[in-house]
């Protein structure tokens, strides 16, 4: 009976739960799904991480390449993020060139990297004007069940923490780069931007961490990204119905607590993968 009701009137079905301050999957309105994290899942990448938020699964692999720095910023390396939503992850995505959502997500991740200054560009520079690192961060969604942006950011930050780059020196005699594979070091991650996504139902009810179904029924979406100093890096709300100031403030407070939770998770996982001595 309930299944029939859900199929025929999905919005009414959700409303009847929201009225009782809970959601069809048993969560409260302000509750995130279980987040699990696995670091170093891809052995051939320089850094990688697999994140699951409920059913949503996102994997991030980072590849470091040597390149000459851009002429306008000769002392900075750079990061190139790319978000891929293959047809594998949901029936809503078709094969072919990346759709609007994938492109918007890529731009969002690029904006967060730039706004939060996750890594100082200078740290990626090997020799000014000559050689620097480029980090290609490929983020791929394996299972799409809503809240893609949060998962992408957790995957990105954890994978960056996992990156180990070999030491590179430019030899004086030959003027060529020499890569010392035996000496590897971690990156210096300056900031940990973590996002929290919200969906607005019927212009007034705000729920966190929406599933794909809740996303499609909601009237607006919003993602708040904060760093560990409680500063906002991004407040991304691509349209939809308007939100009052108080609701916005609630969302920001929730995002700040979420940041603490996720930072703790990332730290625990990093500690657990460190080789025991």
Partner 1 sequence: MEVDVQSTLTLREFGCEQNLLSRPDGSSSFVQGDSSVLAGVYGPAEVKVNKEIYDRATLEVVIHPKSGPPGVRERAREQCVRETCEAALLSSLHPRSSLSLVLQVVHDDGSLLACCLNAACMALMDAGLPMGCLFCGVTCAIDQEGQIITDPSAQQEKNSRAVLTFAIDSAQRRVMMSTTKGSFSVNELQQCIAVSQKASEKIFQFYRDSVKRRYSKTL
Binding-site ranges for partner 1 (CB under 8 A) = 100-101, 103-104, 106-108, 110-111, 114-117, 219-220, 222, 227, 230-245, 248-249, 252
Give the nearer residue to partner 1 in terms of CB position, either 21 or 249. 249
Minimum distance from CB of 52 to partner 1 (Å)? Answer: 26
Are 43 and 222 in contact by the 8 Å Cβ rule? The answer is: no
Which C-beta is closer to partner 1: that of 66 or that of 104? 104
* Close Cβ partners of 223 (under 8 Å, ≥ 6 residues apart): 108, 149, 150, 195, 196, 197, 198, 234, 235, 236, 237
Cβ of residue 76: shortest distance to partner 1, in angstroms?
A: 16
Count other C-beta atoms under 10 Å from residue 276's C-beta.
Answer: 4
Supply the minimum distance, in Å, between the C-beta of residue 237 and partner 1.
4
Min dist CB 69 to partner 1, Å, is 20
Give the whole-angstrom CA distance, residue 28 versus residue 31.
Answer: 5
Minimum CB distance to partner 1, residue 204 (Å): 12
- In the bound state with partner 1, the residue whose beta carbon lies nearer, of 100 and 175, is 100
Query: CB-wise, 242 or 268, nearer to partner 1?
Result: 242
Query: How far apart (Å, rounded) are the C-alpha atoms in residues 263 and 193?
Result: 9
In terms of Cα–Cα distance, which of 35, 56, 31, 17 is closest to 207? Answer: 31
Whole-number minimum distance, CB 123 to partner 1, in Å? 18
The residue written with tokens 């939503």 in the block is: 85
Tokens 């750079």, located at residue = 78
Give min distance, CB of 155 to partner 1, in A. Answer: 19
Which is closer to partner 1, CB of 56 or CB of 234? Answer: 234
Nearer to partner 1, 36 or 241 (CB): 241
- Tokens representing 140 are 């791929």
Please say which residue, 110 or 131, places its beta carbon nearer to partner 1.
Answer: 110
Q: Do 200 and 243 form a contact (C-beta atoms < 8 A)? A: yes
Residues contacting 11, CB < 8 A, separation 6+:
217
CA-nearest of 143, 236, 122, 254 to 190 is 122
């Amino acid at each position: 009976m309930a299944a029939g009701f859900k199929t025929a009137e999905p919005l009414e079905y959700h409303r009847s739960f929201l009225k009782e301050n809970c959601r069809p999957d048993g969560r409260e309105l302000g509750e995130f799904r279980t987040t699990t994290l696995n670091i170093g899942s891809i052995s051939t990448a320089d850094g990688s991480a697999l994140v699951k938020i409920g059913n949503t699964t996102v994997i991030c692999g980072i590849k470091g390449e040597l390149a000459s720095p851009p002429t306008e910023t000769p002392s900075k390396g750079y990061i190139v993020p790319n978000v891929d939503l293959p047809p594998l992850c949901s029936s809503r995505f078709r094969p072919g060139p990346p759709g609007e959502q994938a492109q918007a997500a890529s731009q969002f991740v690029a904006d967060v990297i730039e706004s939060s200054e996750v890594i100082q560009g200078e740290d990626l520079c090997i020799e000014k004007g000559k050689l620097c690192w480029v980090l290609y961060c490929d983020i791929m969604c394996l299972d799409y069940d809503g809240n893609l942006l949060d998962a992408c950011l957790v995957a990105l930050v954890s994978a960056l923490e996992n990156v180990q780059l070999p030491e590179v020196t430019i030899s004086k005699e030959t003027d060529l780069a020499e890569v010392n594979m035996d000496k590897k070091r971690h990156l210096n991650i300056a900031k940990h931007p973590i996002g929290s996504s919200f969906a607005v139902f019927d212009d007034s009810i705000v729920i966190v961490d929406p599933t794909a179904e809740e996303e499609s029924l909601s009237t607006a979406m919003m993602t708040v990204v904060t760093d560990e100093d409680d500063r906002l890096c991004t407040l991304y709300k691509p349209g939809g119905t308007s939100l009052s100031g108080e609701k916005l403030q609630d969302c920001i407070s929730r995002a700040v607590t979420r940041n603490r939770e996720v930072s703790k998770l990332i730290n625990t996982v990093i500690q657990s993968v460190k080789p025991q001595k």
